[in-house]
Structure 1
Protein backbone atom coordinates (compact mmCIF):
# COMPACT_ATOMS: atom_id res chain seq x y z
CA UNK A 1 0.00 0.00 0.00
CA UNK A 2 1.70 3.17 -1.19
CA UNK A 3 -0.78 5.62 0.40
CA UNK A 4 0.11 5.82 4.08
CA UNK A 5 -2.75 8.00 5.35
CA UNK A 6 -5.59 5.57 6.32
CA UNK A 7 -8.36 8.12 5.71
CA UNK A 8 -6.99 9.06 2.29
CA UNK A 9 -6.45 5.37 1.48
CA UNK A 10 -10.11 4.65 2.29
CA UNK A 11 -11.34 7.60 0.21
CA UNK A 12 -9.30 6.62 -2.85
CA UNK A 13 -10.16 2.92 -2.42
CA UNK A 14 -13.90 3.70 -2.39
CA UNK A 15 -13.55 5.82 -5.53
CA UNK A 16 -11.54 3.11 -7.30
CA UNK A 17 -14.11 0.47 -6.28
CA UNK A 18 -16.88 2.60 -7.78
CA UNK A 19 -14.90 3.05 -10.99
CA UNK A 20 -14.18 -0.69 -11.17
CA UNK A 21 -17.88 -1.46 -10.78
CA UNK A 22 -18.78 0.92 -13.60
CA UNK A 23 -16.04 -0.58 -15.78
CA UNK A 24 -17.47 -4.06 -15.23
CA UNK A 25 -20.95 -2.85 -16.21
CA UNK A 26 -19.47 -1.14 -19.26
CA UNK A 27 -17.75 -4.34 -20.37
CA UNK A 28 -21.01 -6.26 -20.05
CA UNK A 29 -22.82 -3.67 -22.18
CA UNK A 30 -19.96 -3.77 -24.66
CA UNK A 31 -20.30 -7.55 -24.97
CA UNK A 32 -24.06 -7.21 -25.51
CA UNK A 33 -23.43 -4.60 -28.22
CA UNK A 34 -20.89 -6.86 -29.94
CA UNK A 35 -23.38 -9.74 -29.88
CA UNK A 36 -26.02 -7.52 -31.48
CA UNK A 37 -23.60 -6.36 -34.19
CA UNK A 38 -22.52 -9.96 -34.86
CA UNK A 39 -26.15 -11.07 -35.11
CA UNK A 40 -26.86 -8.41 -37.72
CA UNK A 41 -23.86 -9.54 -39.77
CA UNK A 42 -24.93 -13.19 -39.55
CA UNK A 43 -28.46 -12.32 -40.67
CA UNK A 44 -27.05 -10.67 -43.79
CA UNK A 45 -25.14 -13.86 -44.54
CA UNK A 46 -28.31 -15.90 -43.96
CA UNK A 47 -30.25 -13.67 -46.37
CA UNK A 48 -27.56 -14.13 -49.02
CA UNK A 49 -27.77 -17.92 -48.58
CA UNK A 50 -31.58 -17.80 -48.91
CA UNK A 51 -31.29 -15.78 -52.11
CA UNK A 52 -28.84 -18.32 -53.48
CA UNK A 53 -31.28 -21.13 -52.70
CA UNK A 54 -34.10 -19.15 -54.31
CA UNK A 55 -32.06 -18.67 -57.48
CA UNK A 56 -31.29 -22.36 -57.63
CA UNK A 57 -34.97 -23.21 -57.08
CA UNK A 58 -35.89 -20.83 -59.93
CA UNK A 59 -33.45 -22.56 -62.28
CA UNK A 60 -34.70 -26.01 -61.26
CA UNK A 61 -38.30 -24.85 -61.73
CA UNK A 62 -37.60 -23.62 -65.26
CA UNK A 63 -35.88 -26.87 -66.14
CA UNK A 64 -38.82 -28.85 -64.78
CA UNK A 65 -41.28 -26.70 -66.77
CA UNK A 66 -39.39 -27.40 -70.01
CA UNK A 67 -39.86 -31.12 -69.52
CA UNK A 68 -43.63 -30.86 -69.00
CA UNK A 69 -46.56 -29.63 -71.07
CA UNK A 70 -49.77 -27.96 -69.98
CA UNK A 71 -50.61 -27.58 -66.26
CA UNK A 72 -47.55 -27.26 -64.00
CA UNK A 73 -46.83 -30.43 -62.08
CA UNK A 74 -46.66 -30.73 -58.30
CA UNK A 75 -42.85 -30.67 -58.45
CA UNK A 76 -42.91 -27.43 -60.46
CA UNK A 77 -45.27 -25.82 -57.97
CA UNK A 78 -43.13 -26.95 -55.04
CA UNK A 79 -40.02 -25.48 -56.62
CA UNK A 80 -41.78 -22.18 -57.33
CA UNK A 81 -43.11 -22.07 -53.76
CA UNK A 82 -39.60 -22.75 -52.46
CA UNK A 83 -38.22 -19.91 -54.60
CA UNK A 84 -40.85 -17.41 -53.42
CA UNK A 85 -40.59 -18.51 -49.78
CA UNK A 86 -36.80 -18.11 -49.77
CA UNK A 87 -37.03 -14.67 -51.37
CA UNK A 88 -39.59 -13.57 -48.79
CA UNK A 89 -37.53 -14.98 -45.94
CA UNK A 90 -34.43 -13.24 -47.29
CA UNK A 91 -36.27 -9.91 -47.41
CA UNK A 92 -37.59 -10.26 -43.86
CA UNK A 93 -34.18 -11.36 -42.60
CA UNK A 94 -32.55 -8.29 -44.13
CA UNK A 95 -35.14 -6.01 -42.53
CA UNK A 96 -34.42 -7.50 -39.12
CA UNK A 97 -30.70 -7.09 -39.82
CA UNK A 98 -31.30 -3.41 -40.62
CA UNK A 99 -33.11 -3.01 -37.30
CA UNK A 100 -30.22 -4.59 -35.43
CA UNK A 101 -27.65 -2.51 -37.34
CA UNK A 102 -29.41 0.69 -36.29
CA UNK A 103 -29.71 -0.53 -32.70
CA UNK A 104 -26.02 -1.45 -32.67
CA UNK A 105 -25.02 1.93 -34.08
CA UNK A 106 -27.03 3.80 -31.42
CA UNK A 107 -25.56 1.60 -28.69
CA UNK A 108 -22.04 2.19 -30.03
CA UNK A 109 -22.52 5.94 -29.79
CA UNK A 110 -23.72 5.63 -26.19
CA UNK A 111 -20.91 3.24 -25.27
CA UNK A 112 -18.30 5.49 -26.88
CA UNK A 113 -19.42 8.41 -24.72
CA UNK A 114 -19.48 6.18 -21.63
CA UNK A 115 -15.96 5.00 -22.36
CA UNK A 116 -14.68 8.56 -22.67
CA UNK A 117 -16.30 9.41 -19.33
CA UNK A 118 -14.60 6.39 -17.73
CA UNK A 119 -11.24 7.39 -19.25
CA UNK A 120 -11.56 10.89 -17.79
CA UNK A 121 -12.65 9.54 -14.42
CA UNK A 122 -9.72 7.13 -14.31
CA UNK A 123 -7.34 9.98 -15.22
CA UNK A 124 -8.67 12.08 -12.32
CA UNK A 125 -8.39 9.13 -9.93
CA UNK A 126 -4.80 8.46 -10.97
CA UNK A 127 -3.99 12.09 -10.21
CA UNK A 128 -5.72 11.78 -6.83
CA UNK A 129 -3.80 8.57 -6.10
CA UNK A 130 -0.38 10.02 -6.91
CA UNK A 131 -1.14 13.29 -5.09
CA UNK A 132 -1.91 11.20 -2.00
CA UNK A 133 1.36 9.27 -2.40
CA UNK A 134 3.27 12.54 -2.78
CA UNK A 135 1.60 14.02 0.29
CA UNK A 136 2.92 11.10 2.35
CA UNK A 137 6.38 11.03 0.79
CA UNK A 138 7.01 14.78 0.96
CA UNK A 139 6.19 14.66 4.66
CA UNK A 140 8.79 11.90 5.08
CA UNK A 141 11.35 13.89 3.12
CA UNK A 142 10.90 16.83 5.46
CA UNK A 143 14.36 16.59 7.01
CA UNK A 144 16.01 16.78 3.58
CA UNK A 145 13.91 19.62 2.19
CA UNK A 146 15.71 22.48 4.01
CA UNK A 147 19.04 21.30 2.58
CA UNK A 148 17.50 21.01 -0.88
CA UNK A 149 16.03 24.51 -0.58
CA UNK A 150 19.45 25.86 0.44
CA UNK A 151 21.04 24.05 -2.49
CA UNK A 152 18.62 25.63 -4.95
CA UNK A 153 19.07 29.08 -3.42
CA UNK A 154 22.86 29.27 -2.99
CA UNK A 155 24.68 26.43 -4.75
CA UNK A 156 26.51 27.16 -8.01
CA UNK A 157 24.55 26.45 -11.19
CA UNK A 158 26.88 23.58 -12.04
CA UNK A 159 25.98 21.82 -8.77
CA UNK A 160 22.26 22.21 -9.41
CA UNK A 161 22.70 20.87 -12.94
CA UNK A 162 24.69 17.97 -11.53
CA UNK A 163 21.64 16.98 -9.49
CA UNK A 164 18.78 17.81 -11.86
CA UNK A 165 20.48 17.66 -15.26
CA UNK A 166 20.84 20.28 -17.96
CA UNK A 167 19.92 21.01 -21.53
CA UNK A 168 22.48 21.82 -24.17
CA UNK A 169 22.30 22.68 -27.86
CA UNK A 170 23.72 20.21 -30.35
CA UNK A 171 24.09 20.31 -34.10
CA UNK A 172 23.01 17.61 -36.50
CA UNK A 173 24.34 18.64 -39.89
CA UNK A 174 22.78 22.12 -40.31
CA UNK A 175 20.06 21.71 -37.69
CA UNK A 176 20.33 22.72 -34.05
CA UNK A 177 18.41 20.75 -31.42
CA UNK A 178 18.21 20.69 -27.62
CA UNK A 179 19.48 17.60 -25.83
CA UNK A 180 18.47 16.93 -22.21
CA UNK A 181 21.32 15.49 -20.18
CA UNK A 182 20.11 13.63 -17.06
CA UNK A 183 21.34 14.61 -13.63
CA UNK A 184 22.49 12.29 -10.88
CA UNK A 185 19.03 12.31 -9.29
CA UNK A 186 17.42 11.02 -12.50
CA UNK A 187 20.20 8.48 -12.98
CA UNK A 188 19.72 7.23 -9.42
CA UNK A 189 15.97 6.91 -9.97
CA UNK A 190 16.50 4.96 -13.20
CA UNK A 191 18.82 2.49 -11.50
CA UNK A 192 16.75 2.18 -8.32
CA UNK A 193 14.72 -0.93 -7.61
CA UNK A 194 11.20 -0.49 -8.96
CA UNK A 195 8.34 -0.59 -6.45
CA UNK A 196 5.57 -3.00 -7.33
CA UNK A 197 2.11 -1.48 -7.99
CA UNK A 198 -0.29 -1.95 -5.10
CA UNK A 199 -3.86 -3.19 -5.58
CA UNK A 200 -5.30 0.28 -6.18
CA UNK A 201 -2.68 1.21 -8.76
CA UNK A 202 -3.13 -2.14 -10.52
CA UNK A 203 -6.85 -1.42 -10.85
CA UNK A 204 -6.17 2.09 -12.13
CA UNK A 205 -3.70 0.72 -14.68
CA UNK A 206 -6.23 -1.83 -15.96
CA UNK A 207 -6.71 -1.05 -19.67
CA UNK A 208 -10.18 -0.24 -20.98
CA UNK A 209 -11.57 -2.42 -23.79
CA UNK A 210 -10.99 -0.78 -27.17
CA UNK A 211 -13.96 0.73 -28.99
CA UNK A 212 -13.76 2.44 -32.37
CA UNK A 213 -15.43 5.81 -32.79
CA UNK A 214 -18.88 5.51 -34.41
CA UNK A 215 -19.09 6.60 -38.04
CA UNK A 216 -21.47 9.41 -37.09
CA UNK A 217 -18.74 11.02 -34.96
CA UNK A 218 -16.89 11.97 -38.14
CA UNK A 219 -19.63 14.50 -38.96
CA UNK A 220 -20.18 17.96 -37.52
CA UNK A 221 -22.65 18.18 -34.60
CA UNK A 222 -25.37 19.64 -36.85
CA UNK A 223 -24.92 16.98 -39.55
CA UNK A 224 -24.77 14.29 -36.86
CA UNK A 225 -28.10 15.37 -35.33
CA UNK A 226 -29.73 15.43 -38.77
CA UNK A 227 -28.36 11.96 -39.53
CA UNK A 228 -29.53 10.60 -36.17
CA UNK A 229 -33.04 12.00 -36.74
CA UNK A 230 -33.22 10.31 -40.15
CA UNK A 231 -31.92 7.09 -38.61
CA UNK A 232 -34.58 7.18 -35.87
CA UNK A 233 -37.27 7.68 -38.51
CA UNK A 234 -35.92 4.76 -40.53
CA UNK A 235 -35.91 2.54 -37.43
CA UNK A 236 -39.53 3.39 -36.58
CA UNK A 237 -40.55 2.57 -40.13
CA UNK A 238 -38.82 -0.82 -39.87
CA UNK A 239 -40.41 -1.88 -36.59
CA UNK A 240 -43.88 -0.56 -37.57
CA UNK A 241 -44.04 -2.26 -40.97
Structure 2
Protein backbone atom coordinates (compact mmCIF):
# COMPACT_ATOMS: atom_id res chain seq x y z
CA UNK A 1 0.00 0.00 0.00
CA UNK A 2 1.33 3.41 -0.98
CA UNK A 3 0.56 6.55 0.99
CA UNK A 4 -0.89 9.62 -0.69
CA UNK A 5 1.41 12.61 -1.11
CA UNK A 6 -0.14 14.45 1.84
CA UNK A 7 0.39 11.46 4.13
CA UNK A 8 3.96 11.08 2.91
CA UNK A 9 4.51 14.70 3.93
CA UNK A 10 2.86 13.95 7.27
CA UNK A 11 5.31 11.08 7.78
CA UNK A 12 8.03 13.68 7.53
CA UNK A 13 6.37 15.78 10.23
CA UNK A 14 6.21 12.75 12.50
CA UNK A 15 9.77 11.72 11.70
CA UNK A 16 8.71 8.11 11.18
CA UNK A 17 8.56 6.22 7.88
CA UNK A 18 5.88 3.53 8.01
CA UNK A 19 6.81 0.02 6.91
CA UNK A 20 3.07 -0.70 7.22
CA UNK A 21 1.43 2.44 5.82
CA UNK A 22 -2.04 0.98 6.37
CA UNK A 23 -1.53 1.70 10.08
CA UNK A 24 -1.20 5.43 9.46
CA UNK A 25 -4.24 5.38 7.18
CA UNK A 26 -6.25 3.67 9.89
CA UNK A 27 -5.04 6.04 12.60
CA UNK A 28 -6.39 8.97 10.60
CA UNK A 29 -9.76 7.40 9.71
CA UNK A 30 -12.67 8.65 11.82
CA UNK A 31 -15.68 6.40 12.41
CA UNK A 32 -17.74 8.63 10.11
CA UNK A 33 -15.56 7.44 7.22
CA UNK A 34 -15.24 3.78 8.19
CA UNK A 35 -16.63 0.80 6.27
CA UNK A 36 -16.31 -3.00 6.40
CA UNK A 37 -13.09 -2.66 4.38
CA UNK A 38 -11.89 0.58 6.01
CA UNK A 39 -11.58 0.27 9.82
CA UNK A 40 -11.66 3.39 11.97
CA UNK A 41 -9.10 4.54 14.54
CA UNK A 42 -10.96 3.74 17.76
CA UNK A 43 -8.98 0.62 18.69
CA UNK A 44 -5.73 2.42 17.94
CA UNK A 45 -6.85 5.33 20.10
CA UNK A 46 -7.32 2.92 23.02
CA UNK A 47 -3.79 1.56 22.62
CA UNK A 48 -2.19 4.94 22.00
CA UNK A 49 -3.62 6.33 25.21
CA UNK A 50 -1.82 3.60 27.19
CA UNK A 51 1.48 4.05 25.36
CA UNK A 52 1.31 7.81 25.92
CA UNK A 53 0.62 7.29 29.62
CA UNK A 54 3.66 5.06 30.08
CA UNK A 55 6.04 7.38 28.23
CA UNK A 56 4.81 10.49 30.05
CA UNK A 57 5.02 8.74 33.43
CA UNK A 58 8.62 7.75 32.80
CA UNK A 59 9.53 11.21 31.46
CA UNK A 60 8.11 12.97 34.51
CA UNK A 61 10.00 10.70 36.88
CA UNK A 62 13.27 11.41 35.07
CA UNK A 63 12.59 15.13 34.77
CA UNK A 64 12.15 15.65 38.52
CA UNK A 65 13.81 13.00 40.65
CA UNK A 66 12.61 14.59 43.90
CA UNK A 67 8.92 15.06 43.04
CA UNK A 68 6.37 13.25 45.17
CA UNK A 69 3.47 11.23 43.80
CA UNK A 70 1.20 14.08 44.81
CA UNK A 71 3.19 16.46 42.61
CA UNK A 72 3.59 14.04 39.70
CA UNK A 73 -0.07 13.05 39.38
CA UNK A 74 -1.45 16.47 38.39
CA UNK A 75 1.45 17.01 35.98
CA UNK A 76 0.67 13.64 34.39
CA UNK A 77 -3.03 14.44 34.11
CA UNK A 78 -2.28 17.79 32.49
CA UNK A 79 -0.04 16.17 29.88
CA UNK A 80 -2.21 13.22 28.85
CA UNK A 81 -5.69 14.73 28.92
CA UNK A 82 -7.64 14.95 25.68
CA UNK A 83 -7.27 18.72 25.42
CA UNK A 84 -3.47 18.47 25.48
CA UNK A 85 -3.49 15.70 22.88
CA UNK A 86 -5.68 17.91 20.70
CA UNK A 87 -3.29 20.85 21.12
CA UNK A 88 -0.40 18.64 20.01
CA UNK A 89 -2.51 17.46 17.07
CA UNK A 90 -3.04 21.09 16.07
CA UNK A 91 0.69 21.74 16.32
CA UNK A 92 1.35 19.12 13.64
CA UNK A 93 -1.89 19.83 11.71
CA UNK A 94 -3.47 16.40 12.02
CA UNK A 95 -6.79 18.00 11.09
CA UNK A 96 -5.59 18.52 7.53
CA UNK A 97 -5.05 14.79 6.97
CA UNK A 98 -7.99 13.36 8.93
CA UNK A 99 -10.32 11.17 6.90
CA UNK A 100 -13.85 12.28 7.77
CA UNK A 101 -17.33 11.58 6.46
CA UNK A 102 -19.07 14.47 4.74
CA UNK A 103 -21.40 15.27 7.65
CA UNK A 104 -18.54 15.35 10.15
CA UNK A 105 -16.45 17.44 7.80
CA UNK A 106 -19.27 19.95 7.30
CA UNK A 107 -19.74 20.28 11.05
CA UNK A 108 -16.14 21.33 11.62
CA UNK A 109 -14.72 17.94 12.55
CA UNK A 110 -11.19 18.93 11.62
CA UNK A 111 -11.20 21.44 14.49
CA UNK A 112 -12.98 19.40 17.17
CA UNK A 113 -10.98 18.73 20.31
CA UNK A 114 -12.31 15.18 20.77
CA UNK A 115 -11.56 14.12 17.20
CA UNK A 116 -8.09 15.66 17.19
CA UNK A 117 -7.20 14.18 20.57
CA UNK A 118 -8.39 10.73 19.52
CA UNK A 119 -6.44 10.94 16.26
CA UNK A 120 -3.25 11.95 18.08
CA UNK A 121 -3.52 8.91 20.35
CA UNK A 122 -4.24 6.69 17.34
CA UNK A 123 -1.16 7.99 15.51
CA UNK A 124 0.97 7.17 18.58
CA UNK A 125 -0.40 3.61 18.49
CA UNK A 126 0.26 3.33 14.76
CA UNK A 127 3.91 4.31 15.28
CA UNK A 128 4.14 1.86 18.21
CA UNK A 129 2.77 -1.05 16.17
CA UNK A 130 4.91 -0.16 13.15
CA UNK A 131 8.21 0.67 14.82
CA UNK A 132 7.99 -0.57 18.38
CA UNK A 133 8.05 1.15 21.75
CA UNK A 134 11.26 3.10 21.14
CA UNK A 135 9.82 4.70 18.00
CA UNK A 136 6.61 5.70 19.80
CA UNK A 137 8.60 7.02 22.75
CA UNK A 138 10.79 9.13 20.47
CA UNK A 139 7.70 10.63 18.82
CA UNK A 140 6.02 11.46 22.12
CA UNK A 141 9.12 12.99 23.68
CA UNK A 142 9.65 15.12 20.57
CA UNK A 143 6.08 16.40 20.45
CA UNK A 144 5.57 16.80 24.20
CA UNK A 145 9.09 18.06 25.09
CA UNK A 146 8.25 21.70 25.80
CA UNK A 147 5.14 20.80 27.74
CA UNK A 148 6.98 18.28 29.90
CA UNK A 149 9.54 20.92 30.82
CA UNK A 150 6.99 23.64 31.51
CA UNK A 151 4.17 21.71 33.18
CA UNK A 152 3.43 23.17 36.61
CA UNK A 153 3.56 21.06 39.73
CA UNK A 154 0.01 22.12 40.52
CA UNK A 155 -1.25 21.66 36.96
CA UNK A 156 -4.79 20.43 37.19
CA UNK A 157 -7.69 20.26 34.82
CA UNK A 158 -10.56 22.60 35.82
CA UNK A 159 -12.83 19.79 37.07
CA UNK A 160 -10.14 18.49 39.41
CA UNK A 161 -9.29 21.98 40.63
CA UNK A 162 -12.95 22.77 41.33
CA UNK A 163 -13.47 19.50 43.18
CA UNK A 164 -10.42 20.18 45.34
CA UNK A 165 -11.72 23.69 46.05
CA UNK A 166 -15.02 22.23 47.24
CA UNK A 167 -13.35 19.51 49.31
CA UNK A 168 -11.10 22.07 51.03
CA UNK A 169 -14.27 23.83 52.20
CA UNK A 170 -15.92 20.55 53.26
CA UNK A 171 -18.52 20.78 50.51
CA UNK A 172 -19.93 17.91 48.49
CA UNK A 173 -18.32 17.41 45.06
CA UNK A 174 -19.61 19.67 42.27
CA UNK A 175 -22.59 18.37 40.31
CA UNK A 176 -22.63 18.45 36.50
CA UNK A 177 -26.06 18.55 34.91
CA UNK A 178 -26.86 18.40 31.20
CA UNK A 179 -29.37 21.20 30.68
CA UNK A 180 -29.62 21.14 26.89
CA UNK A 181 -28.64 19.21 23.80
CA UNK A 182 -28.99 20.63 20.33
CA UNK A 183 -27.82 20.03 16.78
CA UNK A 184 -28.05 16.92 14.57
CA UNK A 185 -27.10 13.48 15.87
CA UNK A 186 -23.81 13.50 13.98
CA UNK A 187 -22.77 16.85 15.47
CA UNK A 188 -24.52 17.41 18.81
CA UNK A 189 -23.76 20.25 21.19
CA UNK A 190 -24.17 19.79 24.93
CA UNK A 191 -24.84 22.45 27.52
CA UNK A 192 -23.60 21.47 30.97
CA UNK A 193 -24.21 23.38 34.18
CA UNK A 194 -21.92 22.83 37.16
CA UNK A 195 -23.38 23.47 40.60
CA UNK A 196 -21.75 23.83 44.00
CA UNK A 197 -23.49 23.08 47.27
CA UNK A 198 -22.84 26.69 48.30
CA UNK A 199 -25.01 27.89 45.41
CA UNK A 200 -22.52 28.99 42.76
CA UNK A 201 -23.22 27.83 39.19
CA UNK A 202 -21.81 28.20 35.69
CA UNK A 203 -22.68 26.69 32.33
CA UNK A 204 -20.94 26.07 29.03
CA UNK A 205 -21.68 24.49 25.66
CA UNK A 206 -19.35 22.24 23.65
CA UNK A 207 -19.36 19.39 21.15
CA UNK A 208 -18.78 16.79 23.87
CA UNK A 209 -20.03 16.45 27.44
CA UNK A 210 -16.49 16.19 28.73
CA UNK A 211 -15.38 19.42 27.06
CA UNK A 212 -18.52 21.22 28.25
CA UNK A 213 -17.92 20.05 31.83
CA UNK A 214 -14.32 21.22 31.78
CA UNK A 215 -15.31 24.59 30.32
CA UNK A 216 -18.10 25.06 32.87
CA UNK A 217 -15.72 24.21 35.71
CA UNK A 218 -13.17 26.71 34.37
CA UNK A 219 -15.84 29.43 34.22
CA UNK A 220 -16.94 28.74 37.78
CA UNK A 221 -13.37 28.77 39.04
CA UNK A 222 -12.85 32.14 37.37
CA UNK A 223 -16.03 33.48 39.00
CA UNK A 224 -14.92 32.26 42.42
CA UNK A 225 -11.46 33.79 42.04
CA UNK A 226 -12.83 37.16 40.90
CA UNK A 227 -15.23 37.26 43.83
CA UNK A 228 -12.58 36.49 46.43
Q: Which has the larger radius of gyration?
A: 1
Alignment TM-score, normalising by the size of structure 1: 0.23
